[in-house]
Structure 1
């Protein structure tokens, strides 16, 4: 099975500019391709993970990736899928974030010489002459077509700034620059980047008279069509300092029954035949599939040792609810020798608001040290911490340890 066939069989490919030509190129020799990563935070998250795993698959098939760190495009901010303008970062912040990205990527992508090219688009975008850019690049873009692009539609109602309007031009120029510099002929990205990718393909064709291609991948969404990768505490980060390996493991252990097989196909390197055999699994077998998913992804991101520790801890906690060694932990403060259950749930990140905490309690979803909490006005006294901690359980699967501050 070729890499293109495998990407398709795993349900990864969303759109292509020319499927037949792309498949032919990938089958006949090494293709230089790129994926861009705007440095908007100091850690990669689950959305980036899908792209990194695709890079790895393409590497394993003998193709040459360009990992493009968006030190220039981040100065503008991608309006795709955003209702408000992105926060403007300084050059120092962007460069720091890009370096954090690079270090995290090394755990997944082979950065050995000849295996990968790491580029920073600030190296060329920051030095562009504006008038020259308008004459050489702007002449190839239709404003009418740009405004009709999906990436701008959500911003038009609230007001699209001229800054953001230039994002497509900058990303398209990246494709042109990488084509001229490295003979890059393929841009990959999430399906929310389709309009930007088409812009680059068209720019190379108009400016150089050459055919290049674009291919997007399905976004990681759950069975309800919502983007995956969010928790009560925020994004599912790849940085262990922002999200502990155990918490990362638990996120995947708790995915919905309808999502586990899709995630196994899209995010793991398990043989596709092995995953397809799981499609008939039900009940406790699905819990086993979730364990496999959580273990495989934790191993990819944090290493096999942390994956095994997380698996062992999760099994022990689920079986007895008493092994708290690897359990996520939060330090809490008491007020007058007690803490309200609503404040406790918010402090531990098990609920994001008083309203959510109250609903969890009223639905019977919260226990403290194996005793169900039924009163949203309940207080947890200092005496409950005599053993050094308390264990809060949310639902059947989520456990959290709370200890007193210093």
Structure 2
């Protein structure tokens, strides 16, 4: 975090005291779709602290919004006094869980090792590793890497029945596809089941959480512990979050919304949340923030009474962007958004934030500009005007701005010396039509 330590930031978080127990709050927030036993889980979570875990496979260099749901579940349970264990799958990441469509490409060991390190660093941001119930981080490669194939088949594989395994929804759908499923991905559920058993033995873990699409893998673990150890352990799955219109949540133009700032800029991240539809924003506040149900009820009323103010969306964007990128960075993003539309000084916006904001705007095409250019050239290059004649009319009518300064002479020339950070121009037509020029791109 920028302004305060991570522990100080985490100390501000709290569960809603209006609920009798954490299970009831999780259900109200819409975070429980399926479980091994609702009544026994509620009893367990309302009693003495238990050890629980969630696994994160390193199949990319960053976690995404789907993982954020699980991280916040881990954190809410930790705030209720329970002991979280975050598992990064250095072993299962080498295999990859089966996808609905096709076989995964296997990544090299070096690549997966690098992603393990990256994911561990990200996870540390969301949990407290201090105090009486500080979190623990584990890697399943520690108990899988030295296991021989014979020992795996004899000690673990003998407890699995092929008929049950092929009955799992994801496996069944892949078997019916043209591509089928490899033995490698077919075995993934056995590896994940072994994780639960090992964590039960090593850390007395009695609960696993995950997405409902992983339910077959989650119950693989509960069944293995029951067969081998004779103990009843728990699992619950969170729903897959979709938008009210049925589209997949967390996708922006086909790309995942990553938690890593290098893969999804804080500006883009903030804009994703502030653009949440009215029909979705209350559910998002429940899942992704620590606001109480009283606070959320107030925003629900505001959405109903004055949706045009978008107060719920702005609060959502502030809360989640601050959670992921810190309050200082979130404020810089807000300041940049205001400055783009003339409500602040563009000169105060740092280059990475300004460039990230510019990628969201119409941009000049390569070779569209020479070494010196006019506002007319820039209006046309960014597509804000279709022709130079119409661009000149806009300038003469007082509607053309460059870096928030009104330009009144259509023939005035500009160059690198006039650019923000020596390479950026923000072009504006009227009050709200923006274009962006990066000289590095425009002259490439």
TM-score (norm 1): 0.83
State the partner residue of 1:348.
none
**1:56 corresponds to 2:68:** no
**Contact kept in structure 1, 2:382 and 2:436, CA below 8 Å:** no
Q: 2:437 — aligned with what?
A: 402
- Distance across 2 between alignment mates of 1:298 and 1:258: 20
2:367 counterpart residue number? 335
- 1:306 matched to 2:329? The reply is yes
| Cα distance in 2 between the residues matched to 1:319 and 1:287 | 20
> Is 1:11 paired with 2:30?
yes
SS in 1 for 2:232: coil
Q: Computing the radius of gyration over CA atoms, which structure comes out larger, 1 or 2?
A: 2
Instruction: Look up the SS of the partner of 2:278 in the other structure.
Output: coil
Q: 1:52 to 1:148 in 2, by over 3 A?
A: same
Answer with 200-209 or 317-326: which moved more.
Answer: 317-326
Query: Structure 1 pair 168/28, CA: closer, same or farther in 2 (3 Å)?
Result: same
- C-alpha displacement of 1:232: 2.8
Distance 1:265 1:252 in 2: 14
Q: Distance in 1 between matches of 2:174 and 2:432?
A: 39
Provide the rounded CA distance (Å) in 1 between the counterparts of 2:138 and 2:427. Answer: 46
Q: Is the 8 A contact 1:257 1:286 kept in 2?
A: no
My pick for the range that moved more, 226-235 or 236-245, is 226-235
* Distance in 1 between residues matched to 2:255 and 2:427, nearest whole Å: 20
**Is the CA contact 1:385–1:403 (under 8 Å) kept in the aligned structure 2?**
no
Correspondence 1:227-242 to 2 at 5 A: 227-232=248-253, 234-242=255-263
2:172 to 153, 157, 160: 153
The 5-angstrom pairing of residues 355-394 of structure 1 reads 371=384, 388=419, 389=424, 391=426
Given candidates 116, 125, 128, the residue that maps to 1:98 is 116
Q: Are 1:253 and 1:294, in contact at CA under 8 Å, matched by a contact in 2?
A: yes
Determine the C-alpha separation between the residues in 1 that align with 2:167 and 2:432.
Answer: 45
In structure 2, the partner of 1:194 is: 215
Aligned: 1:182 with 2:203? yes
Counterpart of 2:16?
none
Q: Is the 8 A contact 2:206 2:234 kept in 1?
A: yes
8 A Cα contact 1:384 1:390, kept in partner:
no
Cα offset for 1:323?
A: 4.7
1:85 correspondence with 2:114: no
In structure 1, the partner of 2:52 is 33
- Asked if 1 retains the 8 angstrom alpha-carbon contact of 2:214 and 2:237, the reply is yes
Corresponding residue number in structure 2 for 1:127: 146
Distance 2:116 2:413 in 1: 45
2:320 to 293, 297, 303: 297
- Distance (whole Å) between structure 1 residues aligned to residue 122 and residue 413 of structure 2: 40
Corresponding residue for residue 268 of structure 2: 247
Cα distance between partner residues in 1 of 2:63 and 2:275: 21
Shift of 1:74: 0.9
- SS of equivalent residue, structure 2 residue 56: strand
**CA shift digits 1:334-366 (9 cap, x unpaired):** 33748xxxxxxxxxxxxxxxxxxxxxxxxxxx9
* 1:279-294 correspondence to structure 2 within 5 Å: 279-280=300-301, 281-282=303-304, 283-284=306-307, 287-294=310-317
Structure 1 unaligned residues grouped into runs of 5+: 339-365, 375-382
- Structure 2's unaligned 5+ residue stretches are 1-18, 371-378, 388-411
The equivalent residue for 1:350 is: none
Q: 1:144 to 1:392 in 2, by over 3 A?
A: farther
TM-score (norm 2): 0.76
Residues paired across the two proteins, number: 370
The answer to whether the Cα contact below 8 Å between 1:175 and 1:200 also exists between their aligned partners in 2 is: yes
Spell out structure 1 runs of 4+ moving beyond 3 A. Answer: 282-286, 315-327, 329-333, 335-338, 366-374, 383-393, 396-400
- Deviation string, structure 1 residues 110-139 (Cα, Å, up to 9, x no partner): 123651110000111122222222222222
Q: Are 1:257 and 2:278 counterparts?
A: yes
Which has the higher mean CA deviation after the structures are superposed, 161-170 or 323-332? 323-332
- Asked whether the equivalents of residues 91 and 140 of structure 2 are also in contact (C-alpha less than 8 Å), the reply is yes
